[in-house]
Amino acid sequence: MNILDELAWRGALNQMTDEAGLRKLTTEKHVGIYVGTDPTGDSLHVGHLIPFMMLKRFQLMGHKPVILIGSGTGSIGDPSGRNSERVLQSMETIQNNAKKLTAQMERMFGRDNFEIVDNYSWLSKISLLDFLRDYGKLFPVNQMLAKEVVASRLESGISFTEFTYQILQSVDFLKLYQNEDVQVQLGGADQWGNITAGIDLIHKIEGADAKVYGLTNPLMLKADGTKFGKSAGGAVWLDPEKTSPYEFYQFWFNQDDADVEKFLKFFTFLSQDEIAELVEAMQTHPEKREAQRRLAEEVTAFVHGEEAVKQAEAISAALFSGDVQDLTADEIKQGFSQVPQKSSPAAAENIIAWLVDTTGIEPSRRQAREDVQNGAITVNGQREQDLDAVIDPTSHFDGKYVIVRRGKKKYFLVNVAD
């Protein structure tokens, strides 16, 4: 199967500059293909995964993916998708972000048949006069103004700095074509104008017969028409310090039935037959959420590794059963980050005083005694019904946490002071 057929089946194709030419090229040889990302933040989020999932598919079919970290372009700002100028960051911040993005990419793509480049290595060497003479002369202003990413900003205003972004991105494509044998650029739908500008530049400098192509992925929308990529708490990050692997897993597990088939096609590497079986199982027994579980397993493994999947599933099982005593301190931190937080000193204390006076989990001593006697209180997975029980906050989870469950579902995370 040609890579384009695979992408089409998965609903991953939007625009192509020359489908017949690209199909012929990818049939005849393994091509270099790149995706660019600017290091304006220290982590990617799930929305950024969209073009990178397509890039990974090229890699799995033998083509060579190249990821361009745009420390150069990122230092001036990309006008696409916003109505205002980007706040410029220091080069120190940009370089630190670039290191973190590189680590995320290497986890997903490995180190074989894959390359990461940074456009700062060539853009920083171009003088203003060279930029104007060698490249500026090749970009008619009327064509630049017609590009959607620029035209959409004309009413609100756009600086000359961000106006030139499409020239710099075009230079990127040219340099990768000349030095890395990259013939294809892949990006989001909002990058179409920049991609075609790069192709035009290559044809003007290298000749009209230069075989270079562009393609974009469609805007990812959920079944309800809202944009994919956000959770109730905001962005879902690939950095485990920003979004824990457990929270990442839960984001995918909680997807609506109406979106699961689309997301299985786009965000996993499962075969057509495997996806068809999961969709059938979802339609037959939707309450089991087998398709959602497989979706969560596959994407979490791709981004964080198999061990993170096992950890997320262990946390999920413990939360469901209430059997939390075998979880590690790190798993407690992940799984209980969204429950009400309390604090406690490390000193041991009578359970009633601890529940009322120290942590405020119970509103009164009368209520605390009643809940303890009725078996409604569990501490670190153990039901406590003895009014004289003593709570030692340092007895579990490396002495960092105490987990209290009141009733069947109400959890509290008690952070133990050092």
**Phi and psi torsions of 377, nearest 5°:** -115, 125
The topology (CATH level 3) of 230-321 is Tyrosyl-Transfer RNA Synthetase (1.10.240)
Residue 373 marked in a binding site: no
Domain 3-217, what architecture?
3-Layer(aba) Sandwich (3.40)
* Mean pLDDT estimate for the chain: 91
Gap between the Cα atoms of 39 and 68, Å rounded: 10
Same fold yes or no, 230-321 and 341-416:
no
Q: Both tokens of residue 391?
A: 């709570």
pLDDT tens, residue by residue, 152-196: 778 778 888 888 888 999 999 999 999 999 999 999 988 898 899
Residue 230 marked in a binding site: yes
Residue 100 marked in a binding site: no
Position 145 scores a pLDDT of: 86
Q: Both tokens of residue 136?
A: 């500026």
Averaged pLDDT for residues 334-338: 86
Check residues 159 and 303 and name the one with the higher pLDDT. 303
Residue 213 marked in a binding site: no
pLDDT tens, residue by residue, 255-286: 999 999 999 999 999 999 999 999 999 999 99
Gap between the Cα atoms of 148 and 145, Å rounded: 8
Q: What is the pTM of this model?
A: 0.85
Averaged pLDDT for residues 120-143: 94
Banded model confidence at residue 253, pLDDT cuts 50, 70, 90:
very high
DSSP helix/strand/coil, 324: coil
User: Is residue 320 packed enough to be buried (19+ CB in 10 Å), middle (13-18) or exposed (0-12)?
Assistant: exposed
DSSP helix/strand/coil, 22: helix
Length of the chain: 418
Averaged pLDDT for residues 393-402: 92
Position 230 scores a pLDDT of: 61
Position 231 scores a pLDDT of: 60
The topology (CATH level 3) of 341-416 is 3.10.290
Domain spans of the chain, in order of start: 3-217, 230-321, 341-416
Gap between the Cα atoms of 204 and 255, Å rounded: 47
